[in-house]
């Protein structure tokens, strides 16, 4: 496709190469539980990177820091801070509060649905 003029996305190449390298190393040299945790953590880091790369301007506007000198670090700190605070809250909350875990599961399920939707409609033939 490149010979036909299709521009190769360097981000996509990086994503595929890094996923392949981490996956090969992780599944090849770790126990199942460790490999599962490492791959999920790596995927989460990738996802945060993708969201930040494409949505940083929107995130800066939401936090109203787009006109400040340190706009990107403040917005990134807020973006990661909210996620971190939610994770801390879920872990330290009373175990009888199932609503927090329900929210977490809904977000996880929506994440996979959204991924499938985005990648299917971004193809030119759809």
Q: pLDDT tens digits for 23-62?
A: 999 999 999 999 998 998 898 888 888 888 888 888 888 8
Longest dimension (CA), the chain: 59
Are 76 and 101 contained in the same domain?
no
pTM to 2 decimal places: 0.65
In a domain, 61, yes or no: yes
Average pLDDT rounded to a whole number, residues 107-113: 74
Are 82 and 107 contained in the same domain?
no
Q: What is the mean pLDDT of the chain?
A: 82
Are 84 and 103 contained in the same domain?
no
DSSP annotation of 8 reads P
Whole-number Cα distances in Å, 37 to 30, 89, 97, 109, 123: 10, 21, 24, 18, 31
Are 18 and 75 contained in the same domain?
yes
Task: Count up the domains in the chain and report the number.
Answer: 2
Q: Where do we find the tokens 């945060």?
A: 48
Instruction: Name the more confident of 33 and 119.
Output: 33
**What residue numbers bound the domain in which 16 lies?**
10-92
Are 85 and 118 contained in the same domain?
no
Are 76 and 126 contained in the same domain?
no
* pLDDT exceeds cutoff 70 at 5: yes
In a domain, 2, yes or no: no
């Amino acid at each position: 496709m490149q010979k036909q003029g299709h521009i190769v996305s360097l981000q996509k190449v990086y994503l595929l190469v890094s996923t392949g390298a981490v996956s090969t190393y992780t599944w090849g040299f770790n126990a199942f539980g460790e490999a599962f945790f490492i791959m999920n953590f790596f995927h989460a880091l990738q996802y945060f990177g993708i969201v930040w790369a494409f949505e940083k301007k929107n995130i800066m506007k939401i936090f109203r820091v787009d006109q400040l000198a340190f706009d990107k670090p403040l917005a990134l700190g807020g973006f990661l801070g909210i996620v971190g605070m939610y994770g801390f809250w879920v872990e330290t909350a009373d175990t009888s509060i199932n609503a927090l875990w329900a929210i977490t599961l809904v977000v996880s399920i929506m994440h996979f649905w959204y991924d499938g939707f985005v990648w299917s409609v971004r193809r030119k033939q759809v």
